């Protein structure tokens, strides 16, 4: 209730006036006026130091309001009084970082280290600043080094491990992801036992599970892991902080039979600090053998066991929602008995700022999907193009609905389309995580990762093609993994490796759609052998596979199967 009241106040038109009643706003100003008066009346070392600290408090007040110029100005005044004030250097670094002045921010943090000695938190700040350019391998590696330094200084800070894990994730060092996360989980368990929290039978889903539609979909393997007895049974809770952005509330609500969503840990008698010691994050989970697996191999292991036991999907669309979805389809022009394919081709619109700063290899051009669309409609189906209004519109075509630009788009209809299509045709986006949770097969295209796109068995996919910029030569699996790019998806990292990533050709996507329309056809012995070789080659480089590669694609790209494996 308290958090809800705070949110209502902050959202109100009166907030710009109301906030100044709060002590957090007027106390720093009063303290500064008092310190100035004291400095004027009794100048000396003590009053000088007191005035410098007052300027720091004002700077913190300004940064709380995102008033960055005044934050920097007050830090400058504090440093003019005492150049050795590490706190002022750190606050100025924070302000500069928010202004995208990474180098200046890092310089301030380095000065703070010089005057304060080795402080873990300051190394963490430097790492965070470096991670603004994570698609530069040098910055990424330096960020990893800074985080490891911080962990050596303060190894019992679980939250530090999460930051370090991200550096390894972006570098494609997946074994380091697992090792680092395993260290963090060990610390978390120790602290939890010391406070007696391990006996509560509660685990929290961290924000890494809740930050996008795709990550929410990954909750699927977490719940299955518990139901398979691969982790102790416990109550699963997700605490959403006030103002937390939920990308599709209806989709998140689908998990309510399995997850208790609350506004604050206080609702179950715990603090946020307590919750942190009981939190599981997406990046990795510990299995009964004591080993921690990062989320892709963890998901693959869990799903393989689930499918081997022939267990049904966890999610099923409620009949009332299925009925209103079918009614909405009729409004869009589909006959009552029509079957359809949901199509989503990622473009840099929904995550506009992130994609602009760090171009990704996950996007594709919708025009390359036109032959696949025709193949589906000629087979008697319909195609519902999903996405958002920032996407390139589709030309009008028979039996095709550009739902992304239409009047019927809604959060609940998105979920209906994911859950009810004959199959899902998509790209490397979070939306691809949702259909399999309802048992819907997927055809995934333009996937920049050579290994498993997801962990489900009922998936057929096409990776993008990797080519050297210098020679224009297509690369095999071993060469891509040797460059550290086998499980990577940012263009900057490929560019630093001298590699360019090419989209799937329209005829390759069409062939995949035809393969999905004829799911009963068995691969030839030659095709099955090529698939086996591809999976073995990925495994030999520490990668993972689930589902299968498109048969036509593997026929077209023999270069994927390295010389080394072809001789085997």
Domain ranges of the chain: 319-566
Q: Judge whether 287 and 181 are in contact, CB under 8 Å.
A: no
pLDDT of residue 315: 97
What is the DSSP annotation of 471-522?
T-PBP-HHHHHHTT-TT--BHHHHHHTTEEEEPPPHHHHHHHHHHHHTTTPP
- Cα separation, 561 vs 326, whole angstroms: 45
pLDDT of residue 112: 96
335 CB neighbour count, 10 Å cutoff: 9
Q: Judge whether 28 and 58 are in contact, CB under 8 Å.
A: yes
Q: Judge whether 326 and 336 are in contact, CB under 8 Å.
A: yes
What are the start-end ranges of the H helices in 82-157? 86-98, 102-116, 120-130, 137-153
What is the DSSP annotation of 13-80?
TTHHHHGGGSHHHHHHHHHHHHHHHHHHHS-SHHHHHHHHHHHHHHHHHHHHTT-HHHHHHHHHHHHH
Compute the chain's Rg from CA coordinates.
27
Residue 66 makes CB contacts below 8 A (sequence gap 6+) with 98
pLDDT of residue 451: 79
- Cα separation, 22 vs 9, whole angstroms: 12
pLDDT of residue 13: 61
- Cα separation, 94 vs 86, whole angstroms: 12
For residue 222, give the 3-state DSSP assignment. helix
The Cα diameter of the chain in Å comes to 93
- Cα separation, 235 vs 455, whole angstroms: 24
pLDDT of residue 488: 79
pLDDT in tens, 42-93: 777 777 788 878 888 888 888 877 889 999 998 999 899 999 999 999 999 9
pLDDT of residue 564: 42
Q: Positive or negative, the Cα torsion across 455, 458, 464, 466? A: positive
Assign residue 43 a region: left if phi > 0, alpha if psi is -120 to 50, beta otherwise? beta
- Cα separation, 310 vs 214, whole angstroms: 24
Phi, psi for 461 (deg, rounded to 5): -140, 165
pLDDT of residue 565: 40
Strand partners, 60: none
Residue 474, Cβ density class (10 Å: 0-12 exposed, 13-18 middle, ≥19 buried):
middle
| Of residues 179, 133, 180, 141, the one with CA closest to residue 484 | 141
Strand partners, 217: none
**Average pLDDT, consecutive stretches of 10 residues, N- to C-terminus, the chain (568 residues):** 57 58 61 70 76 84 85 91 92 93 95 94 96 87 95 94 88 83 94 95 93 93 95 92 86 96 93 94 90 90 96 96 97 96 88 68 93 98 95 94 96 98 95 96 93 89 91 88 80 82 95 93 89 91 89 89 51
393 CB neighbour count, 10 Å cutoff: 11
For residue 464, give the 3-state DSSP assignment. coil
pLDDT in tens, 108-135: 999 999 999 999 999 999 999 999 888 8
pLDDT of residue 283: 84
pLDDT of residue 50: 80
pLDDT of residue 11: 60
- Cα separation, 418 vs 391, whole angstroms: 18
pLDDT of residue 355: 66
pLDDT of residue 172: 76
pLDDT of residue 209: 93
- Cα separation, 504 vs 511, whole angstroms: 11
- Cα separation, 545 vs 508, whole angstroms: 20
| Of residues 82, 103, 80, 81, the one with CA closest to residue 93 | 103
- Cα separation, 300 vs 305, whole angstroms: 9
Q: What angle do CA 280, 152, 293 make, to 5 degrees?
A: 35
């Amino acid at each position: 209730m308290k958090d809800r009241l705070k949110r209502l106040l902050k959202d109100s038109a009166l907030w710009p006036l109301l906030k100044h009643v709060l002590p957090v706003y007027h106390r720093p100003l009063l303290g500064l006026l008092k310190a100035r008066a004291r400095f004027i009346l009794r100048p000396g070392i003590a009053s000088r130091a007191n005035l410098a600290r007052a300027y720091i408090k004002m700077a913190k007040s300004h940064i709380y309001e995102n008033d960055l110029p005044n934050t920097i100005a007050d830090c400058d005044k504090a440093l003019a009084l005492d150049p050795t004030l590490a706190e002022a250097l750190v606050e100025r670094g924070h302000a500069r970082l928010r202004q995208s002045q990474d180098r200046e921010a890092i310089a301030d943090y380095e000065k703070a280290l010089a005057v304060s000695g080795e402080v873990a938190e300051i190394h963490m700040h430097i790492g965070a600043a470096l991670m603004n350019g994570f698609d530069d391998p040098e910055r990424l590696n330096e960020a990893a080094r800074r985080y490891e330094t911080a962990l050596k200084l303060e190894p019992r800070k679980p939250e530090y491990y999460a930051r370090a894990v991200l550096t390894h994730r972006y570098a494609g060092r997946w074994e380091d992801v697992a090792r680092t996360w395993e260290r963090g989980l060990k610390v978390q368990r120790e602290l939890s036992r010391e406070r007696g929290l391990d006996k509560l039978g509660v685990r929290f889903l961290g924000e890494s599970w809740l930050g996008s539609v795709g990550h929410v979909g990954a909750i699927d393997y977490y719940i299955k892991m518990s139901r398979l007895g691969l982790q102790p049974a416990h109550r699963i809770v997700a605490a959403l902080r006030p103002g937390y952005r939920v990308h599709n509330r209806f989709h998140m609500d689908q998990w309510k039979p399995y997850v208790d969503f609350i506004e604050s840990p206080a609702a179950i008698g715990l603090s946020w600090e307590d919750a942190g010691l009981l939190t599981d994050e997406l990046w990795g989970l510990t299995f009964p053998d004591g080993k921690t697996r990062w989320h892709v191999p963890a998901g693959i292991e869990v799903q393989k066991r689930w499918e081997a036991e022939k267990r049904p999907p966890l999610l099923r669309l409620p009949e009332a929602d299925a009925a209103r979805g079918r009614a909405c389809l009729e409004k869009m022009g589909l006959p009552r008995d029509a079957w359809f394919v949901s199509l989503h081709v990622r473009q840099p619109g929904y995550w506009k700022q992130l994609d602009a700063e760090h171009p990704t290899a996950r996007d594709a051009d919708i025009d390359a999907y036109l032959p696949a669309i025709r193949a589906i409609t000629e087979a008697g189906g319909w195609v519902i193009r999903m996405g958002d209004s920032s996407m390139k519109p589709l030309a009008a075509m028979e039996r095709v609905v550009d739902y992304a630009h239409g009047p019927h788009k809604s959060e609940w209809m998105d979920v209906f389309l994911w859950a009810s299509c004959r199959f899902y045709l998509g790209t490397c986006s979070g939306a691809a995580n949702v259909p399999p949770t309802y048992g819907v097969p997927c055809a995934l295209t333009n996937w920049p990762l050579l290994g498993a796109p997801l962990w489900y068995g009922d998936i057929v996919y096409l990776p993008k093609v990797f080519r050297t910029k210098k020679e224009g030569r297509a690369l095999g699996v071993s060469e891509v993994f040797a460059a550290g790019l086998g499980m990577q998806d940012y263009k900057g990292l490929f560019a630093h490796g001298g590699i360019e990533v090419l989209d799937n050709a329209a005829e390759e996507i069409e062939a995949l759609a035809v393969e999905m329309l004829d799911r009963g056809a068995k691969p030839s012995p030659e095709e099955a052998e090529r698939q086996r070789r591809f999976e073995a080659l990925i495994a030999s480089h520490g990668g993972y596979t689930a589902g299968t590669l498109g048969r036509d694609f593997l026929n077209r790209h023999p270069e994927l199967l390295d010389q080394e494996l072809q001789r085997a």
